[in-house]
Structure 1
Amino acid sequence: MPSIRKGLLQLVFSGSFMKRWNDKLRPMELVEMDKQGHKMIVAWALGELAAQGLPEDQAVRLREDIVRGGIFDYLYRLVITDIKPPVFYQIKANPDHYGRLTAWVLEQLRPRVQPLGREFWDDLCAHCHRQGREEESLAESILAAAHLFASRWEFHLIRPLNPWDDEMAEIEANFQQGLVRRQHLAGVADLLEAPATALGRFVTLCGTLRFQKRWSQTPRIPETSVLGHMFLVACLAYFFSIVVGACSARRCNDFYAGLFHDVPELLTRDIISPVKGSVAGIDDLIREYEKRELERRLFAILDTPVTRPLADSLRYLLGLEVGSEFCDLVTLDGRPACVNWEQLQGTFNEDRFAPKDGRMLKICDQLAAFLEAYTSKTHGVVNDHLQQALWRIRSRLGQEALTEEVHIGALLADFD
């Protein structure tokens, strides 16, 4: 029976400590979890464009290959954190050296990842051993292009601050060449011209969520961003969808719903939950404002023949037509419809209904906040806000159970 343990949650969250471009002058700290969030937003966009016209079963398979491949690459990256990219690429070019490195990486990951189940673990092992040995699949090409774009986006932040660095020109050329090699993918040409194109403007706007810090008035270690938080929630949502037995389409929708759930905060800042819950009517007011501004500033960007499918998918993931991203959702007769948990687990747990969890997404959002507060406390930075958050989340989730085998309170007890 697949299960989720404390070690896996802490492993995924550890990317918020992992600094990027550490040998360059930077305008701000750039961390791995933020980059992964941006990468997967780009991968979602490229994947949706590639899925247009595919039979539904192939489209679902492509989406899950992208999601799993992105998670697998991230887990691998977390273990080899101290190896600089140029050195890693040289290792990867030597099958024997790469095979030995991969065997060691998988041994480090095994105790924390294998509890998710044999299928996920076997897929992870196969994915890692396959890298560099075979021609890129469509999903792998999409992930590579997304990685290059997200990394180049960060590079353009630091390039003006490092005019004396003789590596700058070579780094820029490598990013450009890598993207040009993948111009056969729908959308990559638009990324090369970002932010001058609709797709380029959209992914650039999403990338700015790394600038926005969560808990902005509360000292914490680490100071996670909205972008990194969204990626964390996406990973948790995917892991929980595995352990509750969700179908493939539901697993993918849960990942992407987590990845985009705080996109409205591009427009309203990260308004803390106690404020939303304590001031009568303010939550509805904020939601109405967010919806209006999303249409004006985000969906207007995507209102082109090429990117309109992205807008439709994003509306579904955000639950805009039913009023909340935390509604359990399916597609019936081409329209979104709210259902209850039992229906989602039973009748509608099939790819053809495009099911998406809402209640479970809310739990993952709160678990991510718990991880942020708990980690800060373990590093010696604690205050009333963090203590109250930990107490509030434990109180809310202590008795929550998704199935008889998946009890959130038992998972939280691992942190006692």
Structure 2
Amino acid sequence: MRSIRKSLLQFIFSGASMRRWNDKLRPVELFELDKQAHKMIAAFLLWQQNTAGMTDEQQRSIGIDIIEGGLFDYLYRLIITDIKPPVFYRIKANREHYQELTRWALGELEPRIRPLDEALWQRLTAYHTRPAEEADTLADRILSAAHMYASRWEFCLIEPLNGFDEEIKEIGPSFNRRLLALKDVEGVNELLAGSGTALARMANLCGQLRFQIRWAQTPRVPATSVLGHMFIVAVYSYLFSLYLDGCPQRRINDFYCGLFHDLAELLTRDIITPVKRSVAQLPEIIHQYEDEELHSRILDPLEQEGYGRIRERLDYYLGLSTRSEFNDTCRVDGRILKLDGFAALNGEYNSDDFDPKDGQLIKACDTLAAFIEAYSSIHNGIGSPHLYEAMARMRREAGSIRLGSFSMAPLLADFD
């Protein structure tokens, strides 16, 4: 019987404590969770650019491969956390050594992933054991380019502070060489153009969400960023959608809606729930400001510079036509419909043709991610009245959530 376990959710969250560039002088702490979020945002932009002329079915197939490839790489990375990238690349160049490392990593991942979904486990195993010559699909190249982009973005932050480090002089050119080998992936040149294109500006703005710390007035360990939180919600949303037998388009939509659901916090910062609820008119004021800023700084420039497909998908993920990203929606005859709850979406519209999106499920995953953030800090020895109050409130609000065969109450009970 398939199940989503506390251990899997915590394992996915553990990237919030994985420091990157840990042997370099850093202007801010850089964490694996943030890098993965930035990578998947870049992968989304490249996916849209490279599949524009394809059929819907081809786009979906590549979209699933990108999401699951990114997830499989992340899970593997969590296991081999202590191996520095240069050492890992040397291991990977030796087929026998890499196979041995992979067998061990898969053994560590199996008890966490296999109970969720056997087919997902088989895909993960096949992904990490395929011959190198088979790992050069369009999805693989998009993921490689997105990985290089996000890592290079971090490198540009630390490079000015590490002029004394001889290794730094080799890292920069290595990024350039590997990105040059991926120039055939449409959109790579635009991403590397600094602030010269709307595509590059959006990717750069999203990267800055790693500087915005959630629960800013409350000490926490780990102190997750808005960017990292978005990635956690995206992964949880994808896994729950898979657990509920969501069609491929629904899983894609749920992942990217989770990944972009806090995009507006680029413009308003993270505003905690009690503050939002303190004044009756405040949520509407915030929503209006977010809408205006999203259009002027992100959506309209994308449209004006020819990235209309990206702008249209962001509109849908952000729920701009229904005034909330947390509404269950689908598309019928080209029109976006706001559905009357999860049952309607899951029963009547769980088909690729309807472009379904689980707003309520994504909201539940948003709450679950916030709950785990508070829970993890308390169990790491850093608690406060705000965290305890937030956990109690989220237990009350989320405990009654039931979406199809999934019930939130038993899952939250595991965190006692």
Q: Shorter-normalised TM-score: what interval?
A: over 0.9
In structure 2, the partner of 1:373 is: 374
Structure 2 CA distance, aligned partners of 1:199 and 1:96? 40
Q: What amino acid does structure 1 have at the position aligned with 2:387?
A: L
- Show the 5 A alignment for 1:3-402: 3-130=3-130, 132-339=132-339, 340-402=341-403
Other structure's SS at 1:280 match: coil
Structure 2 CA distance, aligned partners of 1:53 and 1:414? 47
How far does residue 227 in structure 1 lie from its aligned partner after superposition? 0.2
Contact (CA 8 Å) 1:202, 1:301: kept in 2 or not? no
Structure 2 CA distance, aligned partners of 1:208 and 1:226? 9
* TM-score relative to the length of structure 1: 0.98
Q: Map Cα deviations across residues 79-107 of structure 1 (whole Å, 9 max, x no partner).
A: 00000111111111111111111110011
Q: Map Cα deviations across residues 220-266 of structure 1 (whole Å, 9 max, x no partner).
A: 00110000000000000001101111000000100000000000000
Q: Map Cα deviations across residues 273-303 of structure 1 (whole Å, 9 max, x no partner).
A: 1121232121111111100111111113312
Structure 1 CA distance, aligned partners of 2:283 and 2:200? 32
Other structure's SS at 1:337 match: strand
Q: What amino acid does structure 1 have at the position aligned with 2:395?
A: R
Structure 2 CA distance, aligned partners of 1:173 and 1:258? 34
Q: What amino acid does structure 1 have at the position aligned with 2:401?
A: E
Q: Map Cα deviations across residues 44-71 of structure 1 (whole Å, 9 max, x no partner).
A: 0000111211111111111111000000
Q: Map Cα deviations across residues 192-212 of structure 1 (whole Å, 9 max, x no partner).
A: 222222211110011000000
How far does residue 167 in structure 1 lie from its aligned partner after superposition? 1.5
How far does residue 133 in structure 1 lie from its aligned partner after superposition? 4.4
How far does residue 148 in structure 1 lie from its aligned partner after superposition? 0.1
User: Could you say what the CA RMSD is over the residues aligned between the two structures, in angstroms?
Assistant: 1.1
TM-aligned CA distance change 1:182 to 1:4, over 3 Å: same
Other structure's SS at 2:336 match: strand
Other structure's SS at 2:113 match: helix
Structure 1 CA distance, aligned partners of 2:414 and 2:303? 46
Contact (CA 8 Å) 1:397, 1:409: kept in 2 or not? yes
Other structure's SS at 1:301 match: helix
Provide structure 1 residue ranges, at least 5 long, that are not aligned to the other structure: none
Other structure's SS at 2:303 match: coil
| Stretch of structure 1 that moved more, 222-231 or 166-175 | 166-175
Structure 2 CA distance, aligned partners of 1:135 and 1:343? 39
Number of equivalenced pairs: 415
Structure 2 CA distance, aligned partners of 1:192 and 1:370? 37
Structure 2 CA distance, aligned partners of 1:14 and 1:241? 21
Q: What amino acid does structure 2 have at the position aligned with 1:149?
A: Y
Q: What amino acid does structure 1 have at the position aligned with 2:390?
A: A
Structure 2 CA distance, aligned partners of 1:334 and 1:229? 32
Instruction: Give the share of equivalent positions with the same residue, in percent.
Output: 51
Structure 1 CA distance, aligned partners of 2:97 and 2:345? 46
Other structure's SS at 1:62 match: helix
Provide structure 2 residue ranges, at least 5 long, that are not aligned to the other structure: none
Other structure's SS at 1:336 match: strand
Structure 2 CA distance, aligned partners of 1:144 and 1:2? 31
Q: What amino acid does structure 1 have at the position aligned with 2:210?
A: R
Q: Map Cα deviations across residues 149-172 of structure 1 (whole Å, 9 max, x no partner).
A: 000000000000001111122111
